[in-house]
Amino acid sequence: MLVFLQTLSELYLPTLMADIVDTGIVKGDIDYIIRIGGLMLLVAGIGTVCSVMASFLSSKTATGFGTILRRKIFARVESFSLQEFNHFGTATLITRTTNDINQLQTVTFMIMRMMIMAPIMCIGGIIMAISKDRPLSLVIVAVIPVIAIVIGFTMSKAIPLFKLMQLKIDKLNLVLRENLTGIRVIRAFNRIEKEKARFEDANADLTENAIKVNKIMAALMPVMMLVMNLTIIGIIWFGSIRIDHGDMQVGSLMAFIQYAMQIMISLVIFSMMFIMVPRASASAVRINEVLETVPVITDAEKSASPGTKKGLLEFRDVTFSFPGAEQPALSNISFTARPGETTAIIGGTGSGKTALVSLIPRFYDVDRGSVLVDGMDVREMPQSSLRAKIGFVPQKAVLFTGTVTDNIRYGKADATAEEVRQAAATAQALEFIEGMKEGFDAVIEQGGINVSGGQKQRLAIARALVRRPEIYIFDDSFSALDFRTDARLRGALKQETAEATVLIVAQRVTTVMEADRIIVLDNGEMAGMGSHKELINSCAVYREIVYSQLSEEELA
């Protein structure tokens, strides 16, 4: 409505001007000029007020739209299991939640401001032009198809290239991301030169395409301007003939020129939509992809009553493969871990250790077999109550912005200061926490960049300890600790976790040697299970690992 008013006032102005010229100037009526001039100012003022208000409202609406969309997408991503999450990847999810939504928000605003105005202006301009002088409107009628053809031709060339461009940007992103995630491997195997060439190819490809697009787009504006200006020349020419015959007045001609300009500018704005919409639609598609992804892991509709065997963990003939993988990450795994026992899992990189422990908090669902906690299948339990039983220490220790206490309390929101301190002490973190200036109130920065890797791991362990869960899972959580801290930590843990079921994933033999049960994984299969002594005699894979790490005397 406001936009409508604004457009109307803009359309009215040339007519008023025509009146001034035709009636005022020609007759030399100063009074009339001033009166109509005042009216023009008023109309212009109304137009401006409408425009400002329209802008304000459009911006509120667009922001509101963005806000709702953002809330939806974030809630959806939070509900994702690791399966969907890793399908997308962290970086693109971040872009989708932030950048893509901002893009859509901006385009919504533009559409509301411009796209509503352009058609009104165009149609209104045509009506006004015809009312001023019908025969002269034929010039505009003749020019509009020309403009349409110019726009159509440019767009038909440019839009495929725009789409291609998005693909090439994605390609460049892909190469770069692979370079980032695989940086260690790339450096270790000296593949830097090869990767550099790959990047260069993708980069050159993208650049070439971008130049092509921009060269095509370069023609659009000058050509449009040219058509517009030539039209005006045409109008002046035909107009002056008509004026000479006395069919038209000079003021009308000037107004007519303005209407012609308005019509053509609105067409140009309209053509901009063809550029903006494909870009926005790329964002919309990316957002939709997220919103349409339904988490595979959901709570069972009716969850059975909780099992009675507290802390009991059982794998029954479990086979599992990551989505899209050809080979199963785990096949036919069966074992039982009881409260008070420590079960260690050892094996080389990619042997399936992390996959195994990820199944316990139901980050993924098994393909075959079942995982039982407290004697109950994890799929029948609500995720929240399942995870409440588990203290999980991930392979990559992640901390959040906040104080040390905040981070430890993440495990148990209502933990007392004493409990927090106790957990930190067990995790061997007390020493360095107290070494910090603010102690437990020291602030951990985003991503935990102000603490070392080992300190991060110890805080992550304290975070799990403070929950006092039935089941502890340490996924290679001691790797950044030196041997002495590692040993001290395991000693303290033993007392703390005496009544709980403990799972330790490790690569170091010293970490697992004292476990009640050691599971040896090799390529997703169980190569052996038993105590250190049993395995050293019976299991070849285990023996190999042990010999590669320990010296003769340590073995004895």
Partner 1 sequence: MSKERDRQGFKGDHDGGPRGGPMGPLGRPVEKAKDFKGTFKRLLGYLKPRRYRLLVVLLMAILSTVFNIVSPKIMGKATTKLFEDLMLKFQHVPGAAVDFNYILHILYILAGLYIASAFFGYLQQYIMASVAQKTVYDMRQDINLKLSRLPLKFFDARTHGDILSRVTNDIDNIATTLQQSLTQLITSVVTLLGVLIMMLTISPWLTLIFLVVLPLSALVTKAAASRSQKFFAGQQKALGELNGHVEEMYTGHQVVKAFGHEGESIEKFNTINARLYEEG
- For residue 159, what are its two tokens? 């839009």
Q: How far is the CB of 244 from partner 1 (least distance, A)?
A: 4
Coil, strand or helix: which one is 71?
A: helix
Q: Which is nearer to partner 1, 212 or 532 (CB)?
A: 212
Q: How far is the CB of 533 from partner 1 (least distance, A)?
A: 33
What is the distance between the alpha carbons of residues 228 and 264, in angstroms, rounded to a whole number? 7
What is the distance between the alpha carbons of residues 118 and 121, in angstroms, rounded to a whole number? 5
Coil, strand or helix: which one is 110?
A: helix
Contact call for residues 270 and 155 (beta carbons, < 8 A) = no
Q: How far is the CB of 222 from partner 1 (least distance, A)?
A: 4
Q: Which is nearer to partner 1, 55 or 332 (CB)?
A: 55
Q: How far is the CB of 456 from partner 1 (least distance, A)?
A: 11
Running DSSP on this structure, what letter comes out for residue 76?
H
Q: Which is nearer to partner 1, 126 or 255 (CB)?
A: 255
201: which residues sit within 8 A by CB, 6+ positions away? Answer: none
Residue 343: which H helix or E strand, with range?
A: strand 342-347
Q: How far is the CB of 208 from partner 1 (least distance, A)?
A: 8
What is the distance between the alpha carbons of residues 424 and 205, in angstroms, rounded to a whole number? 53
Q: Which is nearer to partner 1, 39 or 480 (CB)?
A: 480
What is the distance between the alpha carbons of residues 354 and 363, in angstroms, rounded to a whole number? 11
Strand partners, 318: 333
Per-residue burial over 119-146, b if 16 or more Cβ lie within 10 Å, else e, is ebbbebbbebbbebbeebbebbeebbee
Per-residue burial over 362-382, b if 16 or more Cβ lie within 10 Å, else e, is bbbebeebbbbbbebbbbbbe
Q: How far is the CB of 542 from partner 1 (least distance, A)?
A: 29
What are φ and ψ of residue 109, in 5° steps? -60, -50
Q: Which is nearer to partner 1, 123 or 250 (CB)?
A: 250
Q: How far is the CB of 92 from partner 1 (least distance, A)?
A: 8
Q: How far is the CB of 170 from partner 1 (least distance, A)?
A: 9
> Nearest CA to 365 among 386, 345, 350?
386
Q: Which is nearer to partner 1, 223 or 273 (CB)?
A: 223
Q: How far is the CB of 213 from partner 1 (least distance, A)?
A: 8
Q: Which is nearer to partner 1, 146 or 540 (CB)?
A: 146
Q: How far is the CB of 91 from partner 1 (least distance, A)?
A: 4
Sheet of 471-475, strand order: 390-393, 471-475, 501-506, 342-347, 517-522, 525-530
Coil, strand or helix: which one is 115?
A: helix
Q: How far is the CB of 162 from partner 1 (least distance, A)?
A: 13
Pure H helices in 245-329: 250-292
Strand partners, 472: 391, 502
- For residue 517, what are its two tokens? 């049960």
Q: Which is nearer to partner 1, 45 or 491 (CB)?
A: 45
Q: Which is nearer to partner 1, 392 or 478 (CB)?
A: 392
Number of neighbours of residue 26 by Cβ within 10 angstroms = 12
Q: Which is nearer to partner 1, 194 or 494 (CB)?
A: 194
Q: Which is nearer to partner 1, 60 or 494 (CB)?
A: 60
